[in-house]
Structure 1
């Protein structure tokens, strides 16, 4: 299978986007990005669609809550849009897959709770099919912090998903949870259709609820990005992301792009 296409999760440059949407997209395009992964797109699909078109950018994937009751897991006052609204906006933007970006930690502690999340995404996928948009799930570290019958909760979850529902494996957060990411990618096989390319020192070990302080440009940390990419024979996208970065964010993004481009990805 061909190498995955390079993309970037726009959360990486959220402050820059808020200050100057067109200027930020122009800078991404100048680095070489032709794909991005949008967030918060449901209420501004028209605006984003026009802006992406102006800069020769597409958003084949996006993040939106589909299995949670709140858009922001740390602010329960922000309600999620209905799935039909999510998929209508995704369709307008030309997305092929919407990944749910977060399901709270207490929903990964038992098979029963894991099954509820799988059922929610399976149900959302049936709605998305009417719009030509598929569904997936993006992990953090809570899907790896415990084991159930000797297995990571994410692996149990993967087996409960309908064939049409996929995974976007965040390599940094999986590593922070204790997974050997290359081996994990191999075990998950064709369920992994996208990777978040994110690196760090894992010192201190990051936890949810606080921005990590250890993230570094791709290829400069301890996350086994190269081995995971080699194992990800079914992934369509390699998506650069920083949750937080203490250095120059544009230099970090440029370094990440060059790391992937050096592997022959475009």
Structure 2
């Protein structure tokens, strides 16, 4: 059974703060079948109840606080959402991605967390931005090098837009990473670091080729920022991605 299209809730962070049930209801009404959490310590059981009532799966959970202090409560909260994926969304110095020693430190920290997260029934992942892709070591993107240092149990959630901003040929990158990639962040725009996103399919990203390169990964639509009507752009993104993947 195909996985439902997901949306990263960071996209609607302000709307969630004002009206969480109403915001999730709007996403479900658009046709999204899943959500990805970004602040798991903010009433995870409540979010799970609302999502379940709307028929929304939880595709994954960003665990931003897992690198600081005791990660146990963070992993408990992620598990309460009913997802199997706990994703570290950054948290390392950018400089660590410019040297092999730095990448070894990143890999060691992630690898050390993998057994702990597994005890909560979860699998640990890492989510990139541009700074994990732009540096090259012996001609290879830092993210490629990092993948080779990670334990097999640690997966990647590739933010396809940030990978492109970092200079990667994204379909080729996904092809090299293979089944290490368990989730994709789909976003679009002019391909620059500071400009807002547009609906998926309305910018510079080669979305059909990206999807084809990681056929089994969760598809998660995300907006870091949106200059237009956010809900309209989210709806247009769902229509575009769903049409590409229609049987």
TM-score by length of 2: 0.94
1:227 aligns with 2:215: no
* Distance of 2:45 and 2:30 partners within structure 1: 25
Deviation by residue 1:192-245 (Cα, 9 ceiling, x = unmatched):
11100000112xx21xxxxx324111001111221111111341x100000000
Structure 1: which 5+ runs fail to align? 69-79, 207-211
Deviation by residue 1:114-150 (Cα, 9 ceiling, x = unmatched):
1111111111110011111001011000012221111
1:239 aligns with 2:220: yes
Runs (4+) of structure 1 exceeding 6 A deviation are: none
1:109 aligns with 2:98: yes
* Contact 1:67–1:117 (8 Å) recurs in 2: no
* Distance of 2:141 and 2:215 partners within structure 1: 21
Please state whether the residue corresponding to 2:215 is helix, strand or coil. coil
Q: Which has the higher contact order (CA 8 A, sep 6+)?
A: 1
User: What displacement does 1:81 show?
Assistant: 5.6
* Distance of 1:12 and 1:59 partners within structure 2: 15
Deviation by residue 1:23-51 (Cα, 9 ceiling, x = unmatched):
00110110112210001112421221222
- Structure 2 equivalent of residue 73 of structure 1: none
Please state whether the residue corresponding to 2:82 is helix, strand or coil. coil
* Distance of 1:14 and 1:40 partners within structure 2: 10
CA RMSD of aligned residues (A): 1.7
Task: State how many pairs are aligned.
Answer: 246
* Distance of 1:81 and 1:262 partners within structure 2: 44
TM-score by length of 1: 0.88
User: What displacement does 1:66 show?
Assistant: 6.0
* Distance of 1:225 and 1:196 partners within structure 2: 11
- Structure 2 equivalent of residue 197 of structure 1: 186
1:96 aligns with 2:84: yes
* Contact 1:4–1:265 (8 Å) recurs in 2: no
1:260 aligns with 2:241: yes
